[in-house]
């Protein structure tokens, strides 16, 4: 895709997080998300077969989806993800060597941070945007407070995002949100209810689109 990845993320505003999904069901899940209108999909690197999923999805979905790698904890994992074809790297932590490597490869990178010091450090290291984690514990109020002095730093809110609060996270200043279990519920995966996953995706995308104009 020729469009700047961060600009497109500011338009789409949802990153689907796939963690621990069975590799034999991976393609059906990805197709369900695509059908539901999800563009950004991240598979965590502690998922069995993650690199194969990334490689396969880059080939299958081409221009329709942006495929990234999550839980990139160190340089070795970053290199594996990049070799598989990941377009962006997402971490729960800040490892400057991962940020440096991503930038050297022309990849977007979203390191994780919690405190103001960590957020600023990640931004100065070269982060495309900073992942604020764990939002399920910190809450929307924390995001609002942290955005006040740091509104020049794009932030991705991850953890605890659901249909009933997604607009609150956007209103608090998140450029986008990361959504895992609510979107791809493990029970739905076990039961093969891919149509429900697609509907979850459609509902979330509709909520975001109706919230207001994109940030681009």
pLDDT tens digits for range 96-131? 999 999 999 999 999 999 999 999 999 999 999 999
Q: Is the pLDDT of residue 214 over 80?
A: no
Mean pLDDT of the chain, nearest integer: 95
Give the residue-averaged pLDDT of 41-58.
98
- Where do the domains of the chain lie, and which CATH numbers do they carry? 9-209 (3.20.20.70)
Please compute the mean of the pLDDT values over residues 75-82 and round it to a whole number.
98
Residue 31 confidence (pLDDT):
98
pLDDT at residue 211 in the model: 85
Say which residue the tokens 């502690």 belong to.
Answer: 46
Cβ-count burial 76-99 (b if 16+ within 10 Å, e if not):
ebbebbbebbbbbbbbbbbbeebb
Q: Supply the residues annotated as catalytic.
A: 42, 131
pLDDT number for residue 63: 84
């Amino acid at each position: 895709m020729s469009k700047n990845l961060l600009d497109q993320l500011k338009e789409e505003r949802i990153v689907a997080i796939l963690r621990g999904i069975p590799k034999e069901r991976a393609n059906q899940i990805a197709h369900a998300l695509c059908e539901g209108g999800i563009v950004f999909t991240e598979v965590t690197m502690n998922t069995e077969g993650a690199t194969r999923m990334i490689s396969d999805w880059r080939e299958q979905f081409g221009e329709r989806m942006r495929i990234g790698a999550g839980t990139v904890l160190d340089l070795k994992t970053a290199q594996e993800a990049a070799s598989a074809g990941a377009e962006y790297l997402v971490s729960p932590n800040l490892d400057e060597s991962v940020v440096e490597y991503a930038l050297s490869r022309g990849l977007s990178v979203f390191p994780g941070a919690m405190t103001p010091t960590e957020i600023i450090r990640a931004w100065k290291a070269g982060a495309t945007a900073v992942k604020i984690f764990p939002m399920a514990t910190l809450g929307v109020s924390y995001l609002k407070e942290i955005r006040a002095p740091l509104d020049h730093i794009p932030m991705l809110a991850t953890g605890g995002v659901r249909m009933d609060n997604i607009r609150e996270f956007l209103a608090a200043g998140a450029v986008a949100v990361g959504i895992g279990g609510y979107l791809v519920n493990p029970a739905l995966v076990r039961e093969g209810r891919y149509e429900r996953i697609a509907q979850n995706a459609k509902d979330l995308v509709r909520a975001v689109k109706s919230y207001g104009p994109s940030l681009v």
